[in-house]
């Protein structure tokens, strides 16, 4: 078994120089010695696995360093060999590749999921620096999937799900089409073995019935192309079982209803011949309207190029046809690994690698703005969508975005600053909402403003990793800044309660508190207070007790309240249950992760939580607040024609904006109108109420408090 694998590898390495092959032989001997005595779950010698991975890498014609790293990829993880030994023997580039491929088994994680997420992050970031890392990892995963029968059913399902969710989409993103299909097929076979076997059996039974039809199509196509003097290779292939299953699920079809279980491919010599062949085939069989896609003029984001068309063949059977050149066919099979180059500048890379390089750089961008490994992995999963829409900038540049991407995704794809300052947009010269989904062919223009900034609501509809990471980063930075200011005010109030002020606290006390609480800085402690993660009273006592233990501390009267301006931002929130407005008696509640939440004194929600006295703080309104506040009004009126218009007009005349209005469906003699109004304070609200009471049809007005 080992001898056969070595022979196969030697034959595949014929594209390298004799010197490179000698180095690879040396790496094989080193790996064989390191893994001596180790076996795979199947019982065979462990060295068969690195040999198989190296064979796959050599099949993609990667350089000697990549093949050596493939042979050595498990030695650091499974044996006593160190990175330094590999570096000394085979050079630093090979050692770096092997290190990037090694799992993070030396670090303790809270859970398996956290360990896996961190492992993926390490791999993806290493890939951003050197894409060979992921190519070797994909080859490793492919061989593991091919030999997965030897492991337990539970592990089999876990590895298969991981492959389907992460590795197969990455293979697709790197343009490795045949690898992508095989990984999907193997994952499906292990995840849903009964479904796989059932479809495979039905496919085998249908094969004989449809073979005659397939041969007839192949002969007709070849004959017509030859008659048109087009030199072409025509082939028909059975669709993968997973592709058939996906079609059955998405279109709610039974197997017998899936007619197009065969796909046909026409390979010609150049691009003009592709379009000429398309015309000839459309003359032979009628095309299905709306089923033509030109991936030659606009390649897929992974560099894939081809013409796709669906034709109605004999017996009404739909035929899926791909038309491409030899080079496009090669790139479709091997993607970023095709025509492998290691050059110093982008200008020297082929188009496929340029696209991949841009995506890899975006990974680093996303990593910079992601909080932890799980969040980073969530972003990357979103970015591995296989379907794209192609849209145009005002200058005619094409951008590829995931299906379902919105105007905000487009803005961030153009530039981070454009996304952060985005306030409106035009699609095909018409103003549209920011949540508007893009369609292929749309021409998108972003309108920005210096004062605009990201809105947390954008996170509910953006699709790309970059947009999601940038919005979260902005929110995090903004919230931390605002929380620090609020924390300072809360701590100041707590210290005044104890007869001290912030200026009285010595620098040494702060430094000792930072060390004792394992915080990174004084600012982090203040931000934690503002976000409710620490209590100001406890921090104040710790600051004072560090050097002045005083039995009377904590018995002094509370001094002062927190003043609410209304412009604090995310660190101060106004409770949605009671919608406090300036003039209302208010109380503040420290809620973990949200900061200070302001309620009215008589709010039912706040009265239920009064038991936890440490979390309540005295707050009062600034006499000069500088914003409008939402308030809910329930207006009961006689159900007559035009009464809603009268009420809305009175509200507008009182200088008040209506943010939302709804009417109860259950109406008889009376109707209840629910308004969300924007007012400056209680005096402003009183003016609105006086205006409404003057309307004869108004029966009752109440302020909404849930």
Superfamily of domain 203-337: Beta Polymerase, domain 2 (3.30.460.10)
Give percent above pLDDT 70 in the chain: 80
* pLDDT at residue 620 in the model: 82
DSSP 3-state of 215: helix
pLDDT at 371: 54
Least confidently predicted of 1-10, 352-361, 511-520: 352-361
655 vs 403: CA distance, rounded Å: 43
Active site residue 375: no
Q: Which two tokens stand for residue 227?
A: 């008659």
Please confirm, yes or no, whether 78 is among the known catalytic residues.
Answer: yes
Q: Mean pLDDT throughout 530-543?
A: 73
Tell me the per-residue pLDDT of 191-234, one tens digit each, with 9 for 90 and over.
999 999 998 888 887 776 666 677 888 889 999 999 999 999 99
Query: DSSP string covering 334-390, please?
Result: HGGGTT----SSGGGS-HHHHHHHHHHHHHHHHHHT-SSHHHHHHHHHHHT-S-EEE
pLDDT in tens, 614-668: 567 778 887 877 778 889 999 999 888 889 999 999 999 998 988 889 888 776 7
The pLDDT of residue 567: 61
**pLDDT over 80 (residue 181):** yes
Kindly report which listed range (114-128, 548-562, 651-665, 682-696) carries the lowest average pLDDT score.
548-562
The most confident of 99-108, 519-528, 531-540, by mean pLDDT? 519-528
pLDDT of res. 227: 92
* Rg of the chain (C-alpha set): 33
Mean model confidence pLDDT for the chain: 80
Is residue 576 very low, low, confident or very high in pLDDT (cuts 50, 70, 90)?
Answer: confident
Q: Where in the chain is the domain with CATH 1.10.3210.10?
A: 2-193
Q: What pLDDT shows up at residue 554?
A: 42
Q: What pLDDT was estimated at residue 349?
A: 46
Give span(s): CATH 3.30.460.10, the chain.
203-337
Q: Which CATH number fits domain 2-193: 2.60.120.380, 1.10.3210.10, 1.10.275.10, 3.40.1160.10?
A: 1.10.3210.10
Confidence tier at 446 by pLDDT (50, 70, 90)? very high
| pLDDT higher than threshold 90 for residue 255 | no
Range of weakest confidence among 44-53, 62-71, 100-109, 244-253: 100-109
DSSP 167: I
Q: What is the mean pLDDT of residues 248-258?
A: 80
Choose the most confident range, by mean pLDDT, from 89-98, 256-265, 343-352: 89-98
pLDDT at 116: 62
CB 614 within 8 A of CB 664: no
Distance, CA of 407 to chain centre:
16
* 3-state helix/strand/coil string of 188-199: HHHHCHHHHHHH
pLDDT at 530 > cutoff 80: no
Side-chain-side CA neighbours of residue 643 (13 Å): 20
Mean pLDDT of 544-567: 54
CATH architecture for residues 629-703: 2-Layer Sandwich (3.30)
DSSP string, 100-118: HHS--TTS--SSHHHHHHH
Report the range of poorest mean pLDDT among 119-133, 507-521, 549-563, 602-616: 549-563
Residue 46, number of CB atoms within 10 A of its CB: 19
pLDDT given for residue 327 in this prediction:
85
**Is the pLDDT confidence value at 546 over 60?**
no
Cβ atoms of 241 and 194 closer than 8 Å: no
Confidence bin at 341 (pLDDT 50/70/90): very low
Name the catalytic one among 78, 327, 365, 437: 78
Has residue 419 got a pLDDT over 80? yes
Is pLDDT above 50 for 271? yes
Lowest-confidence region among 365-369, 491-495, 580-584: 365-369
295 closest CA partner among 239, 248, 352, 346? 352
Question: What's the token pair of residue 607?
Answer: 């009265």
Query: 20, 77, 85, 238: which one is catalytic?
Result: 77
Residue-level pLDDT at 339: 46
Collapsed DSSP state (helix, strand, coil) of residue 583: coil
**What are the beta bridge partners of residue 432?**
425
pLDDT tier for residue 262 given thresholds of 50, 70 and 90: confident
CATH 3.30.70.260 residue ranges for the chain: 629-703
Positive or negative CA dihedral for 203, 204, 206, 207? positive
| 118, 153 Cβ separation under 8 angstroms | no
Question: Buried b vs exposed e over 411-422: b needs ≥16 C-beta within 10 Å?
Answer: bbbbebeebbbb
Q: What is the mean pLDDT of residues 268-290?
A: 92
DSSP H helices, 147-268, are: 153-162, 168-173, 177-191, 193-227, 241-250
Q: What is the pLDDT of residue 209?
A: 62
Q: State mean pLDDT over 45-70.
A: 89
CA distance 464 to 403: 10
pLDDT band for 588, please (50, 70, 90 cuts). confident
pLDDT, tens digit (0-9, with 9 covering 90-100), for 136-158: 889 999 999 998 888 888 888 98
Of 127 and 225, the one with more pLDDT: 225
Mean pLDDT confidence for 358-374: 58
Q: Higher pLDDT residue, 634 or 331?
A: 634
**pLDDT tens by residue, 404-418:** 899 999 999 898 899
Q: What is the pLDDT at residue 385? A: 47
pLDDT value, residue 556: 41
């Amino acid at each position: 078994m080992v001898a056969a694998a070595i022979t196969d590898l030697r034959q595949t390495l014929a594209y390298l120089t004799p010197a490179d092959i000698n180095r690879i032989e040396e790496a094989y001997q080193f790996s064989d010695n390191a893994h001596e005595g180790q076996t795979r779950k199947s019982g065979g010698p462990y060295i068969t696995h690195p040999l198989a991975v190296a064979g796959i890498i050599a099949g993609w014609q990667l350089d000697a360093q990549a093949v050596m790293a493939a042979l050595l990829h498990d030695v650091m993880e499974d044996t006593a060999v160190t990175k330094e030994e590999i570096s000394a023997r085979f050079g630093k580039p090979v050692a770096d590749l092997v290190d990037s491929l090694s799992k993070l088994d030396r670090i303790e994680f809270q859970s398996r999921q956290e360990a896996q997420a961190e492992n993926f992050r390490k791999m993806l970031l290493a890939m951003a620096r050197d894409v060979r890392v992921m190519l070797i990892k994909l080859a490793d995963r492919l061989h593991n999937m091919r030999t997965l029968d030897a492991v337990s059913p539970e592990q089999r399902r876990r590895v298969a799900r991981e492959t389907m969710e992460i590795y197969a989409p990455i293979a697709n993103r790197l343009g490795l089409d045949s690898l992508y299909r095989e990984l999907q097929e193997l994952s499906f076979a292990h995840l849903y073995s009964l479904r796989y076997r059932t479809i495979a059996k039905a496919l085998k039974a249908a094969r004989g019935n449809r073979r005659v039809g397939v041969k007839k199509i192949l002969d007709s196509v070849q004959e017509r192309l030859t008659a048109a003097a087009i030199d072409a290779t025509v082939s028909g292939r059975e669709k993968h079982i997973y592709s058939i299953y996906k079609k059955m699920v998405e279109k709610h079809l039974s197997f017998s209803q899936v007619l197009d279980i065969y796909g046909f491919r026409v390979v010609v010599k150049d691009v003009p011949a592709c379009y000429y062949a398309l015309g000839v085939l459309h003359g032979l069989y009628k095309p299905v309207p709306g089923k033509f896609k030109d991936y030659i003029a606009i390649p897929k984001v992974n560099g894939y190029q081809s013409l796709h068309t669906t034709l109605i063949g004999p017996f009404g059977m739909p035929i899926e046809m791909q038309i491409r050149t030899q080079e496009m066919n090669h790139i479709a099979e091997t993607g970023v690994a095709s025509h492998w180059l290691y050059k110093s500048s982008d200008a020297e890379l082929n188009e496929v690698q340029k696209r991949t390089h841009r995506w890899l750089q975006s990974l680093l961008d996303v990593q910079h703005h992601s909080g932890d490994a799980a969040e980073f992995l969530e972003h990357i999963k979103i970015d591995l969508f296989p379907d794209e829409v192609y849209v145009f900038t005002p200058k005619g540049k094409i951008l590829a975005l995931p299906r379902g991407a919105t105007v905000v995704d487009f803005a961030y794809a153009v530039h981070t600053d454009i996304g952060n300052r985005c306030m409106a947009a035009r699609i095909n010269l018409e103003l549209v909402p920011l949540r508007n989904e893009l369609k292929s062919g749309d021409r998108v223009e972003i309108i920005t403003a210096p004062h605009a900034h990201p809105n947390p609501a954008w996170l509910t509809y953006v699709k790309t990793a970059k947009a999601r990471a940038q919005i979260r980063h902005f929110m995090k930075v903004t919230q931390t800044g605002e929380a620090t200011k609020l924390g300072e005010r809360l701590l100041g109030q707590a210290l005044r309660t104890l007869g001290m002020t912030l200026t009285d606290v010595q620098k040494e006390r702060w430094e000792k508190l930072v060390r004792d609480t394992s915080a990174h800085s004084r600012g982090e402690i203040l931000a934690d207070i503002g976000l409710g993660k620490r209590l100001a009273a406890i921090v104040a006592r710790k600051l004072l007790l560090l050097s002045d233990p005083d039995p009377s501390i904590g018995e002094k009267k509370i001094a002062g309240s927190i003043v609410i301006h209304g412009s604090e931002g995310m660190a101060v929130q106004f409770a949605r249950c009671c919608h406090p407005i300036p003039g209302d008696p208010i109380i503040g509640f420290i809620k973990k992760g949200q900061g200070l939440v302001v309620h009215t004194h008589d709010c039912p929600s706040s009265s239920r939580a009064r038991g936890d006295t440490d979390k309540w703080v005295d707050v009062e309104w600034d006499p000069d607040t500088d914003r409008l506040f939402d308030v809910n009004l329930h207006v009961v009126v006689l159900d007559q024609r035009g009464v809603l218009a009268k009420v809305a007009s009175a509200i507008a005349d009182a200088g008040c904006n209506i943010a939302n209005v709804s009417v109860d469906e259950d109406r008889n003699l009376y109707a209840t109108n629910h308004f969300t109004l924007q007012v400056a304070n209680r005096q402003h609200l009183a003016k609105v109420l006086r205006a409404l009471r003057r309307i004869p049809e108004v029966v009752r007005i109440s302020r909404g408090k849930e």
